[in-house]
């Protein structure tokens, strides 16, 4: 049978109150701490986290809700979030929304019912209701990457509009005038990045034909199908800006299947320095998000709210800068 707190009492001669205080994170005399820790090791005692949670009102578990577990971007965020939480003694419970708002809300309810200490969310769409659900339940919540409209919540993200504007300016600076974009027309990041692209083109005095803008959702399929259409245009653009990793991957697949080459026939600028930029030939130029820093900031914000008054303060929004990873996928056009 598993060892119990009474077994520790018999082994150490200490009171149940002292042992319980130590197990729940309280301070005890140094000599008592040594006795308890020795008994725990010898008895192979395992803390009953459910019972401890009833006392401390904390489960030492954080719920992490992402829009798609298939996304390499989300998988990388989860790795960094998990690393940061483990350093603080927390575990994580991961839920996949599968790009569906209803599933996202069901997952949020599941996490709230599991009594997680807090929730980190990479939301599905622009109008996520998860924040309202968490606030109503009194569960601290922090958003990452995407900031839904009318959001009353802490958030860690990049400046999507400015990052896209600067990326488009890189293409313009290389002499490109006919620039297409493949983006999301539904997700916050895609909408903001498309706005940044349009602003850059407008500021440079260039028209953007309707057939140069391809908006749907962030997916490999969207990138693939859109790039095939772009390559078949009579007045084909000289460059394409792809606003997330899955879109970039799909677009590269389409170019590889065509008779055209990058960058001689079509220049390409993508998003996120994951695997793709290191395996393509030529090497892809990419906008790089500080994913590790984003994850650590989100964990820091959330743990700062747990057991404190922070949830009643004005929401904090941390906006981190991006950088450009220069590859060989952009051809310079001589004017």
Top-confidence residue, 239 or 59: 239
Top-confidence residue, 251 or 316: 251
Residues 83 and 197 both lie in one domain: no
- The answer to whether residue 330 is domain-embedded is no
pLDDT for position 293: 97
User: Does the pLDDT at position 59 exceed 60?
Assistant: yes
pLDDT for position 55: 52
Residues 300 and 261 both lie in one domain: no
Pick the range with the lowest mean pLDDT from 132-136, 170-174, 198-202.
Answer: 132-136
- The answer to whether residue 328 is domain-embedded is no
CATH number at residue 179: 3.40.50.2300
pLDDT in tens, 111-131: 999 999 999 999 887 656 888
User: Does the pLDDT at position 308 exceed 70?
Assistant: no
Residues 298 and 151 both lie in one domain: yes
Residue 71 phi, psi (nearest 5): -70, 125
- The answer to whether residue 30 is domain-embedded is yes
What number is the average pLDDT over the span 15-41?
85
User: Does the pLDDT at position 278 exceed 80?
Assistant: no
- The answer to whether residue 107 is domain-embedded is yes
- The answer to whether residue 258 is domain-embedded is yes
Residues 260 and 273 both lie in one domain: yes
> Which domain covers residue 202, as residue numbers?
160-289
Strand order in the sheet with 91-96: 91-96, 61-66, 118-122, 141-144, 154-158, 317-320
- The answer to whether residue 259 is domain-embedded is yes
Pick the range with the lowest mean pLDDT from 108-122, 207-221, 243-257, 300-314.
Answer: 300-314
User: Does the pLDDT at position 223 exceed 90?
Assistant: yes
Counting the structural domains of the chain, the total is 3
What are the DSSP calls for 157-179, one per residue?
A: EE-HHHHHHHHHHHHHHTT---E
Top-confidence residue, 16 or 232: 232
Percentage of the chain with pLDDT > 70?
Answer: 91
- Ranked by mean pLDDT, which of 36-45, 70-79, 127-136, 149-158 comes out on top? 70-79
User: Does the pLDDT at position 181 exceed 80?
Assistant: yes
Residues 201 and 258 both lie in one domain: yes
Residues 275 and 207 both lie in one domain: yes
Residues 200 and 307 both lie in one domain: no
User: Does the pLDDT at position 302 exceed 90?
Assistant: yes
- Measured CA angle at 181 (ends 179, 185), to 5 deg: 150
Q: Encoding tokens for residue 220? A: 């490999």
Residues 280 and 235 both lie in one domain: yes
Residues 182 and 241 both lie in one domain: yes
Q: What pTM value is reported for the model? A: 0.80
Residues 285 and 177 both lie in one domain: yes
pLDDT for position 4: 82
Nearest-angstrom CA–CA distance, 150 and 93: 27
Mean per-residue pLDDT over the chain, rounded:
89
């Amino acid at each position: 049978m598993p060892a119990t707190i009474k077994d520790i009492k018999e082994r150490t001669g200490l009171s149940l109150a002292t042992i319980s205080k130590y197990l729940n994170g309280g301070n005890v005399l140094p000599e008592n701490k040594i006795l308890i820790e020795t008994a725990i090791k010898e008895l192979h005692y395992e803390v009953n986290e459910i019972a401890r949670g009833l006392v401390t009102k904390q489960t030492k578990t954080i719920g992490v809700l992402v829009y798609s577990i298939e996304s390499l971007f989300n998988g990388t965020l989860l790795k960094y979030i998990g690393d940061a939480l483990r350093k603080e003694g927390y575990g994580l419970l991961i839920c996949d929304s599968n790009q569906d708002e209803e599933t996202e809300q069901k997952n949020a309810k599941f996490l709230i019912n599991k009594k997680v200490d807090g929730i980190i969310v990479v939301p599905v769409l622009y109008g996520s209701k998860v924040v309202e659900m968490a606030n109503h339940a009194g569960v601290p919540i922090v958003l990452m990457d995407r900031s839904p409209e009318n959001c009353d919540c802490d958030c860690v993200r990049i400046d999507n509009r400015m990052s896209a504007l600067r990326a488009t300016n890189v293409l313009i600076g290389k002499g490109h005038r006919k620039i297409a974009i493949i983006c999301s027309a539904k997700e916050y990041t895609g909408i903001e990045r498309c706005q940044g692209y349009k602003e850059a083109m407008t500021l440079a005095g260039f028209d953007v034909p309707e057939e140069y803008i391809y908006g749907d959702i962030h997916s490999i399929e969207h990138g693939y199908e859109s790039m095939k259409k772009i390559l078949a245009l009579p007045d084909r653009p000289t460059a394409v800006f792809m606003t997330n990793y899955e879109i970039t991957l799909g677009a590269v697949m389409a170019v590889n299947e065509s008779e055209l080459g990058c960058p001689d026939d079509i220049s390409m600028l993508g998003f996120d320095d994951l695997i793709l930029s290191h395996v393509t030939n030529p090497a892809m130029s990419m906008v790089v998000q500080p994913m590790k820093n984003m994850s650590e900031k989100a964990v820091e914000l959330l743990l700062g709210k747990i057991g404190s008054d922070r949830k009643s303060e004005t929401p904090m929004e941390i906006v981190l800068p991006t950088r450009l990873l220069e590859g060989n996928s952009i051809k310079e056009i001589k004017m």
